[in-house]
Amino acid sequence: MALCSPVSLFSLLCTVLLFSASSSAKHDSVSFSFPLRSLPISAGKPLKTNPKLRSLSSASYNVKLPFKYSMALVVSLPIGTPPQHQQMVLDTGSQLSWIQCRNKTPPTVSFDPSLSSSFYVIPCTHPLCKPRVPDFTLPTTCDQNRLCHYSYFYADGTYAEGNLVREKLTFSPSQTTPPLTLGCATESRDAGGILGMNLGRLSFPSQAKITKFSYCVPTRVSGSGNLPTGSFYLGNNPNSARFRYVSMLTFSQSQRMPNLDPLAYTVPMQGIRIGGKRLNINPSVFRPDAGGSGQTMIDSGSEFTFLVDEAYDRVREEVVRVVGPRIKKGYVYGGVADMCFDGSARESIGRLIGDVVLEFEKGVEIVVPKERVLADVGGGVHCVGIGRSERLGAASNIIGNIHQQNLWVEFDLANHRIGFGEADCSRS
C-alpha cells in the first residue's frame, strides 16, 4: 500500500472482522483453517524484553490461507505462542508488518502480548532501532520506557505507531516462522493490521525467508451480504504450471531517484488496449525515467489502478470517444477517478467500452473483461477502476487489486519474476 485506494482500505476492516475464514484441504499442499476469535485483552502487564533476540532457522513453507476480499485482501494470521488470530491486510506495496496491540473491546481484536510466550519488545539499544537503511517513514526513537518506538505513514493518510517487537507466526506445531520484527501498534486509525510483503529487508517474505508466494483475488459481488473468499499461498502453488511469467525490474537501493520505490514489485508493462484498440501510448511511459517516474508496480494494497498523466489521458480519451455523453459530469470518485456513470447504465457502458487489456513483455497480458471494467463505488455510481496518479501526488503506474480479480498472481522471488494465471478465484 505504498499508494492506496481512493478510499482507505482499512475503513472496511471493522466489517471484515465479523467474518470467519475457512479453507478446504488440497492434496498438493498443507491447508489450515483460521476461524476468527475474540480474545480477552489484559491491561497493565509489563512487556517482556530480550536483549539477545535470537532467530530460529526458517523452515520450508507450504501453507495455504483464505482471505476475505472487499476493497482489501484481509487474511487472518496466527500470531504468537499459542497463536492469536489477527486480521491483516495483504499488502505487496509496503514493508513493515504490524498488528494491533491496543486495549480495545471487540469488534477490534487486539493482540495481547501477555498471552504469548514468544513475544519480546525490542529495546532502544538494539541495532534494529538504529537502522542504516530508512525503513520507516520517521526515524525510530526511544520512548519513556527505553523501548524502540516506530511511526509508519501511508500515502492515503493512514498511519500506525507503537513499539517494534519480535514475534513469530505459528501455523502448526511443526511449522512456525523464526521471530520476526513487527510493529505492535498502540496508535492507528484502523481496526486491523498490515502484512508487509514488498522487497524490503523487514518485509514478511524477507524475514521469514519465503522465496515464493501467490494469491488469487475473487470477483466482488455488488450488494452481497457476504464477502468473497480468495486464496493465499506461502510456498509452491499447485497451479503454477500454467502461469505465464514476466521478469521483475530490480533496482539497487543505492539508486536514489526521487520518484522510484526500489522495494516495489516493478513489472515491464508495454501498453494498453481498450475494446481491441491499442492506445497510442509510448511504452517508455510505463518504465522509470532518470528520476524514477513511470515505474509500474503490482500493489495488492491498492484498490484502483493508477496511471501517470500521459497514459491516463489516452485511456480517458478513448472512454470519452465511445461513451462520452454518459459520463457523470463533475463527479470525481475519491478525488482521483473521473470516468464514472450512473449505475443504471452499467451493463451497456461495459459493452461499449469493451475489454481492457494491460500488455507486458513476452505477450503476457492482464485481461479485464467488459463485465468488470466498471467498479461499484456506492450511491448507484460505477466508475472505470482507473485513477490519475498525479492526484495522489505520485509519479508511478500502480496495478491495483481491482484489476487482479480472477487471476493468480505469483511472486517468485528466487527467480525475480511474477506469474499470472487466469482462474475462478472463488473456487481456487
Could you list the active site residues?
A: 91, 299
Q: Could you give the CA distance from residue 231 to residue 242 in angstroms, rounded to a whole number?
A: 17
Q: Could you give the CA distance from residue 381 to residue 383 in angstroms, rounded to a whole number?
A: 7
Neighbouring residues of 37: CB distance < 8 A, sequence distance ≥ 6: 84, 85, 109
Handedness of CA 388, 393, 394, 400 (dihedral sign): negative
Q: Could you give the CA distance from residue 101 to residue 121 in angstroms, rounded to a whole number?
A: 12
Q: Could you give the CA distance from residue 171 to residue 149 in angstroms, rounded to a whole number?
A: 28
Q: Could you give the CA distance from residue 3 to residue 417 in angstroms, rounded to a whole number?
A: 22
Long-range own/partner contacts, residues 24-31 (CB < 8 A, 24 or more apart): 26/64, 26/238, 28/238, 29/62, 29/63, 29/64, 29/233, 29/235, 29/236, 29/238, 30/62, 30/63, 30/64, 30/172, 30/175, 31/64
Which cell goes with 238? 499447485
Q: Could you give the CA distance from residue 85 to residue 80 in angstroms, rounded to a whole number?
A: 9
Say which residue the cell 514468544 belongs to.
118
First to last CA, the chain: 25
